[in-house]
Structure formats: structure tokens, C-alpha cells
Amino acid sequence: MRKIVTKLKQQLWKYIDIIFYFAGLISITIGAFYINKPLGYIVCGIAFLISGYLVELIASQNKGGGGK
């Protein structure tokens, strides 16, 4: 039973990190829009670039078959 709880906790922690990452990006982007509209668009573009890079980085690490 303890092993199941530990694995569940690890999986939830991964999702919590993703939720906090996107919540932080959204907050920074909205704050930039409140300061100035062009700044908001620049920050939004940078946020998309960083997110896209991270997605590609994660995808390249997971190559080689699933189910490990």
C-alpha cells in the first residue's frame, strides 16, 4: 500500500509542477499586458518560445520507446 501511495504522490507532483509553471507564465504575461500592450505581446512570445523549447527537450529525452 505504501508503494502505491508513493507512486501516486510522485505522479501528482509532476502535474503540480506543470500547473504552477503555466500559472506563473500566465501571471507574468497578464502583468506585462497591464504595464503596456506591446510589452505583453513580447512577453507572450517569449513564453511560447520557452514552452516550445521545453516541450521539445522533454520529447527528445523520451525517445527510445515507452513503457519504461
Encode pLDDT of 11-46 as tens digits. Answer: 888 788 888 888 999 999 999 999 999 999 999 999
Nearest to 54 by CA among 25, 32, 31: 25
Residue 63 φ/ψ region, left for φ over 0, alpha for ψ in the -120 to 50 degree band, beta for the rest: beta
Reduced to 3 states, what is the DSSP secondary structure of residue 37? helix
Distance between CA atoms of residues 45 and 18, nearest Å: 19
**Model confidence pLDDT, tens digit, residues 37-65:** 999 999 999 999 999 998 888 888 877 55
